[in-house]
């Protein structure tokens, strides 16, 4: 492999706090430690396809570590191995345009890529490595559901947003003797709801890993009433489902790599509870994208910078085809194919998503202080 003199960075998938810290960490270390040139592709893989980029230097990344979102912007719809292109007759078709991206890299003298993203983004990173592009991945998701790493940046900031929201919801719940249903993100795992609800003094937490029966939730509300606590706060993960039920799909985005969008289960639960509880108003709040934005927490700033510097070190030490990960208190690495799988079976070597253990310590601690999960 030829010596690396110039690298490209891109961010794909949903935004989250800590992305700018990663970008700053990569850029500053590339210049200060390795004397490299750095560019950032705009809007993820679409920027790589359109050759749309900005130069990154110590000035462009100065003072961005705390900022939410991503300096480079992002997209969660662009898979260059199955990209929607317009034909001369005006029709559209999906094609493999990855060679266009590789030629753009060659034209600009970009020797390697550092790709920051989740499942879909890292799957494409794996595929570019197979085509000979030196690439290193950095894991990104606020859902904390990647099994290859203990924690992802953005998760801690999202939890802080949830706890702040619950603190505020509590005051109006108490003042009006209301049952407040708060929906949070998480896809098919309940980490955000569990840790956020436990820290935010929720009375009920409903997560995908523990299918719920609303009759138990109603009984929890009545139990609180009997003890003089005439309000309740219920935290619902967007992937929660009723016993023998299915997840609530908000919509399907056909041109997205992750086409099924969950959401709205909190509204359904609110409507159902209004029919089952006759002495309380039931109100619904969806924290939605408030969980993604805002200043990055101290932990996510620190983790982002460490991820960025470690990703660059890994690349320069011949670790192309791997992803950095947080294990214990150390940054280590793992092959991308162990994270997103080989593509042959659709399964990952590390066992798929990282789910909450219903019998684990955190759930048991929550139950120990009286939090109900709709299962008993």
| Residue 183: C-alpha distances to residues 95, 165, 174, 251, 364 (Å) | 37, 11, 19, 16, 22
How far does Cα 341 stand from its chain's mean position? Answer: 18
Q: How confident is the model at residue 350 (pLDDT cuts 50, 70, 90)?
A: very low
Joined together, the tokens standing for residue 296 give 């990055």
Regarding beta strands 322-327 and 330-335, do their DSSP bridges make them parallel or antiparallel, or are they unpaired? Answer: antiparallel
Q: For the chain, which domains are there?
A: 6-153+296-340 (3.40.50.450), 155-293+357-368 (3.40.50.460)
How do residues 217-247 score in pLDDT, each as one tens digit?
999 999 999 999 999 999 999 999 999 887 8
How many alpha carbons fall within 13 Å on the CB side of residue 372?
A: 21
Active site annotation includes 143 = yes
Catalytic residue among 111, 119, 143, 145: 143
pTM, two decimals, is 0.92
How do residues 40-70 score in pLDDT, each as one tens digit?
999 999 999 999 999 999 999 999 999 999 9
Q: Note the pLDDT of residue 262.
A: 77
d(CA 204, CA 235): 6
């Amino acid at each position: 492999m030829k010596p690396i003199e110039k690298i490209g960075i891109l961010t794909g998938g949903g935004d989250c706090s800590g992305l700018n810290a990663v970008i700053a960490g990569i850029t500053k270390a590339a210049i200060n430690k390795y004397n490299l040139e750095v560019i950032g592709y705009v809007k993820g893989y679409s920027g790589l396809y359109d050759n749309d980029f900005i130069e990154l230097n110590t000035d462009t990344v100065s003072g961005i570590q705390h900022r939410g979102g991503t300096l480079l912007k992002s997209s969660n719809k662009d898979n260059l191995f199955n990209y929607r292109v317009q034909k001369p007759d005006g029709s559209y078709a999906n094609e493999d345009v990855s060679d266009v991206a590789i030629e753009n890299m060659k034209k600009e003298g970009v020797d390697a890529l550092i790709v920051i993203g989740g499942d879909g983004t890292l799957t494409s990173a794996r595929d570019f490595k197979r085509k000979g592009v030196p690439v290193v991945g950095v894991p990104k998701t606020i859902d904390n559901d990647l099994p290859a790493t203990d924690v992802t940046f953005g998760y801690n900031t999202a939890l802080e947003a949830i706890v702040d929201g619950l603190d505020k919801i509590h005051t109006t719940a108490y003042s009006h003797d209301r049952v407040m249903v708060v929906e949070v993100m998480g896809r098919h795992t309940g980490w955000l709801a569990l840790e956020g609800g436990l820290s935010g003094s929720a009375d009920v937490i409903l997560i995908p890993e523990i299918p719920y029966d609303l009759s138990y939730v109603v009984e929890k509300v009545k139990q609180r009433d009997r003890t003089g606590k005439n309000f309740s706060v219920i935290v619902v993960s967007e992937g929660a489902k009723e016993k023998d039920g299915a997840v609530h799909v908000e919509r399907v985005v056909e041109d997205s790599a992750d086409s099924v969008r969950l959401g709205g289960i909190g509204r359904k639960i609110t409507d159902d509870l209004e029919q089952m509880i006759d002495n309380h108003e039931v109100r619904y709040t969806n924290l939605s994208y408030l969980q993604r934005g805002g200043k990055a927490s101290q932990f996510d700033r620190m983790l982002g910078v460490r991820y960025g510097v470690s990703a660059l070190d890994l690349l320069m030490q011949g670790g192309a085809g791997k992803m950095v990960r947080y294990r214990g208190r150390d940054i280590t690495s793992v092959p991308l194919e162990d994270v997103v799988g080989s593509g042959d079976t659709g399964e990952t070597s590390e066992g798929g998503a990282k789910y909450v253990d219903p019998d684990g310590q955190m759930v048991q601690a929550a139950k120990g202080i009286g939090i109900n999960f709709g299962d008993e």
